[in-house]
Structure 1
Amino acid sequence: MTMARPLRALIDVSSMRDNLLFFRKQLGSIRCWAVVKANAYGHGLVAALQAFGQADGLALIEPDLALELRAKGWCKPILLMEGVFDEADVLACVEAGIDVVVHSAWQLELVESSRYASSLRARGPRLWVKFNSGMNRLGFSMVEGLRHVKRLHRAGFRLGALAHFANADAREADVQSEQAILGLLRAVKALDQEIPCSFSNSAASQRLLQTRGGRASSQRPDLPEPLGADWLRLGIALFGGSAFDGTRARELGLAPVMRLETRVLAIQSLESGDRVGYGGRFVAERPSRIAVLAGGYADGYPRHAPDGTPVWIAGHRCPLAGRVSMDMITVDVTDYPDIDVGAPAQLWGDSLAVDDVAAAAGTIGYQLLSGLTARVPRVLINQVHEEGV
């Protein structure tokens, strides 16, 4: 006999695959990294391995999980996006054939001075030199980075060039950043046409789709489609989230993947003036019915979500009423007398876009999906078995 809370996350593996194939169909020969960091944005590596067999590689930041992907049978490229942290990481990447980003002088020194440097050159994991295009997180300046690329190229390392658009999540393109990236692309290819470049994440890839579709190309003839370069890095888009503020994933042609489902645990009847939850933030302005749902901030639901944040219950879009608790939320269902104990609810998913919930809570879909905690069971549905493993 098993007992479980009604809260669970249904992961539609087929929709994950379809989101990848959407880009593959539109962008043709450009290769795709499926980014699976943060436990595949909260969806789980098992689901990612099933869904992304037609990706050209998987990218993440966690060295231990990169090795786990190899152990689970992934035989295509793997990219470690924050690179290595010590000599043991260098050895592990050599032995497992894992590509490595180098973004700082200390990492270059670590790799080149390692006793495994000759093995790295001989066995062929690629070093991806990261350039700072204006975001000022990781990466070398354009001048310094190109100097390292030339030196490493002469030393016999297999190389790649990688950058991140400074305003990648802005709906409109950043001309200055794009011009810098275009100059970098030309400089790298002038050195060696075979050095692959990766500049576009989910947001930049969406803009690339617009360019290929002709909607943007007439406005930006100075920035041709090679800004997509050789490899795309597709993250949030594969999981049915939007990379753009104010735009739902469905509007971008993408299918939702995670359905965070729960049920109504109780109904409270209130009089006008009664308060709900910690601090009594919600005050009933009329006789009201309040539904109590399983699911709270210990599950990853945003504690700071304000009253009015949408919750889907039994076909109705209802407003959050009261402060989010550790294990529960409270929702005003006064206008829907058909809602009762046991009614099905969705905190986000195909009936309620995660981006809508995120916008109401003053955050982004990335945080909600990747922040779903381990105590929420993930249930894989519409499973597929691709050939990447």
Structure 2
Amino acid sequence: MTLTTATAVIDRQALVDNFNRVKTFAPKAKVLAVLKANGYGHGLERIARALPQADAFGVARLDEALALRAAGVVKPIVLLEGFFTEQDLPILAVNNLQTIVHNRQQLDALTRTQLEKPLKVWLKIDTGMHRLGINPEDFDDFYQALSASDNVDPDIVLMSHLGCADDKENPVTNSQLALFEQLTASYNNEKSLANSAGSYAWPQTRYDWIRPGLILYGVSPMAAPEQSAQSLGIKPVMTLQSSLIAVRALKAGEAVGYGAAWVSSEDTTIGVIAIGYGDGYPRHAGNGTPVLVNGRRVPLVGRVSMDMITVDLGKDSRDEVGDLAILWGQGLPVEEIALHATTIPYELLCNITRRVQIEVV
């Protein structure tokens, strides 16, 4: 008997295949691969090393960018939230980091400081998502101020972010696209609008740079269930798995777990799997959430504990202690688990905790 603790298996070839698949959506565009939040839980440095064909990497914050530089990554790196303080700017210059500018405070700091060399800037316009970005009416003023500054590389990238691209029927994307085109049509700068969903579903948004994130990791960015990862031609990069650590008979009418939240309606066999919310498995996954045990689907029953979950193996079960259980990934889409847990795949992938073992294949 060999027991396996909670393990995230990272498939590098699947990642490369997904990257190549995304390239087929926009073969002429450059790719800024998004690695924020520890590479969506897959490992920041690990993912960067596995994608040397990316044209640049996108991270949220300065510490992520510096971690990549410390790991020997020399590709262009873009701070997707921009810099936070004026004191960050010399660090960006020394480490050859690029920054988004999305507010007046950043513009003022960048134009008044003294830098040894200019920074590459991506100017972000709010075209309707109303999160980050300058107001459309301020675009010309910001662009002229950046262009006049010795601290700014003259090749400014113009960008915005799509808020509803996961829904092909939502008119917001066309409205955002129209505004972005209206504002930037007379500029010859490189442009970037497409995120994962835009890269796949909205050809007009692809421009010079696409910024795929979730789709690289083998998860569909689309809202419609029929637009699954498989239908998009992408593969899961992470398979979260563990093993059965107990198998026991349960009689009809007996309960399982905290609060006696699930009671068996018939004689059955219960399996206990060594994984829980302490590993990042969603605590709110409900009864019936599928788990793969020996390749077949069985339902989660009872409440998710910190270190364990229980599944109904069925009265005719032949499963044994040590048998493999897959929580999501190969054969079981993380999107499906997210639906059962009333959350999104992003959260599940990013919530993998430090005690989960990593196996790279």
TM-score by length of 2: 0.93
Cα drift, residue 29 of structure 1:
1.6
Report how far residue 278 of structure 1 moved: 1.0
Counterpart check, 1:233 vs 2:211:
yes
- Percent identity, please: 35
Residues 56 and 77, structure 1, Cα contact 8 Å, conserved in 2: yes
The structure-2 alpha-carbon separation of the partners of 1:354 and 1:176, relative to structure 1 and needing over 3 Å to count, comes to closer
Listed one character per residue, the Cα deviations across residues 242-294 of structure 1 (whole Å, up to 9, x for unaligned) are: 11232421111101111111110001221111111111111111112110001
User: 3-state SS of the aligned residue for 2:319?
Assistant: coil
CA contact (8 A) 2:280 2:353 kept: yes
- 2:146 counterpart of 1:166: no
TM superposition shift of 1:336: 4.7
Residue correspondence of structure 1 range 27-66 to structure 2 within 5 A: 27-66=26-65
Q: What's the Cα RMSD here?
A: 1.8
Equivalence map 1:157-306=2 (5 Å)? 157-158=152-153, 159-170=156-167, 172-191=168-187, 193=188, 195-208=189-202, 211=203, 225=204, 227-245=205-223, 246=225, 247-306=227-286
Give the alignment of 1:33-182 within 5 angstroms: 33-116=32-115, 119=116, 123-155=117-149, 157-158=152-153, 159-170=156-167, 172-182=168-178
Task: Tell me if structure 2 keeps the 8 A contact 1:133–1:177.
Answer: no
1:230 is matched by which residue type in structure 2?
A: D
CA contact (8 A) 1:185 1:197 kept: no
CA distance in 1, matches of 2:55, 2:302: 46
Find the aligned partners of 2:81 and 2:208 in 1 and give their Cα distance: 20
How far apart in 2 are the matches of 1:360 and 1:15?
25
Q: Please give the alpha-carbon distance, in whole angstroms, between the structure 1 residues aligned to 2:290 and 2:332.
A: 8
Task: Return the alpha-carbon distance in structure 2 between the equivalents of residues 332 and 163 of structure 1.
Answer: 47
Identify the range of structure 1 (303-312 vs 281-290) with the bigger mean alpha-carbon deviation: 281-290
**Is the alpha carbon distance of 1:261 and 1:272 closer, same or farther for their aligned partners in structure 2, counting shifts above 3 Å?**
same
SS at 2:320 equivalent = coil
Query: Within 1, Cα distance between the matches of 2:61 and 2:316?
Result: 46
**Over 3 Å off, 4+ runs:** 173-177
Aligned match of 1:214 = none
Q: Deviations over 1:45-100 (max 9, x none)?
A: 23212321101000011211201212222222110000111123111111111110
8 A contact 1:301–1:368 mirrored in 2: yes
How far has the Cα of 1:149 moved from its partner?
Answer: 1.3
1:196-245, Cα deviation, whole Å (9 max, x unpaired): 2111100111113xx4xxxxxxxxxxxxx3x2111111100000111123
2:37 & 2:264 partners in 1: Cα distance? 40
SS in 2 for 1:299: coil
* Residues 12-23 of structure 1 mapped to structure 2, 5 A cutoff: 12-23=11-22
Q: Provide the C-alpha distance between the structure 2 equivalents of 1:79 and 1:261, rounded to a whole number of angstroms.
A: 33
| Counterpart-to-counterpart distance in 2, 1:351 and 1:94 | 45
The offset of 1:114, in angstroms, is 2.2
Tell me how far apart the structure 2 counterparts of residues 374 and 114 of structure 1 sit (CA, whole Å): 39
Secondary structure of 1:302 counterpart: coil
Distance 2:197 2:24 in 1: 17
CA contact (8 A) 1:104 1:140 kept: yes
Contact 2:3 2:322 in 1 (8 A): no
Shift of 1:32: 0.6
- Letter of the 1:265 partner, please give it: I
Offset of residue 108 of structure 1: 1.6
Q: CA offsets per residue over residues 5-63 of structure 1, 9 Å max, x none?
A: 52111100111111111122342120010000000000002321232110100001121
The match for 1:217 is none
Q: Note the alpha carbon deviations across 1:298-330, whole angstroms, 9 max, x for none.
A: 111000010000000001100000000000000
SS in 2 for 1:18: helix
CA distance in 2, matches of 1:133, 1:165: 8
Unpaired runs of at least 5, structure 1: 212-224, 382-389
| Alpha-carbon distance in 2 for matches of 1:323, 1:344 | 21
Whole-angstrom distance in 1 between the partners of 2:178 and 2:55: 23
What CA distance in whole angstroms lies between the structure 1 residues aligned with 2:124 and 2:15? Answer: 28
Counterparts of 2:262 and 2:183 in 1: how far apart (Å)? 59
3-state SS of 1:337 partner: coil
User: Mean Cα displacement is larger for which, 328-337 or 7-16?
Assistant: 328-337
Deviation, structure 1 residue 4: 8.3
Distance 1:155 1:46, change over 3 A: closer
Return the offset for 1:187.
3.2
Query: Could you tell me whether the CA contact under 8 Å between 2:102 and 2:132 is conserved in 1?
Result: yes
- The normalised TM-score by structure 1 is 0.87
Correspondence for 1:384: none
CA distance in 1, matches of 2:72, 2:290: 41
Corresponding residue for residue 368 of structure 1: 348
Moved more, 320-329 or 355-364: 355-364
Which amino acid in structure 1 is aligned with residue 206 of structure 2?
Answer: G
Task: Give, in whole Å, the separation in 2 of the partners of 1:126 and 1:181.
Answer: 24
1:46 is aligned with what amino acid? E
